[in-house]
Amino acid sequence: MSQVADFFVLVVPERVRVAVRLWPRNAEETVVDADFADCVELQIELKRLKLRKNNWNSDTYEFDEVFTEFVSQKRVYEVVAKPVVEQQQQQQQWQRSWRRGKIKWPISLLV
């Protein structure tokens, strides 16, 4: 079975966030996996991906973000990676300011 999605794991201070993006089918998969559309269902508004194993069984997975195969790489970056990058940049800026003595520890932390 070919891989059908990208999974992104984000680590932020509050918790781990997980996003999924369905891959578009290539020409070979279109011919070989004619039933593909019937086995993978994205429920965008519910942030779910449903995998049907057969007519009776399916597995449903919930994510923090769900993207269709038509979403741009830019959109994925803006939603998934940009907040992490910006947070890291802010943390590095704070650390540089602290090392230069521009930020002092609050008295309550020193007690």
E strand or H helix that includes residue 52: strand 48-52
Rounded to the nearest integer, the mean pLDDT of the chain is 76
10-26: pLDDT as tens digits: 555 667 788 899 887 77
The predicted model scores a pTM of 0.62
Name the percent of the chain lying above pLDDT 70.
69
pLDDT category at 47 given cuts 50, 70, 90 is: very high
Asked whether the beta carbons of 38 and 28 are under 8 A apart, the reply is: no
Contact in structure between 19 and 28 (CB atoms under 8 Å): no
Instruction: State residue 1's pLDDT score.
Output: 42
Contact 64, 18 (CB under 8 A): yes
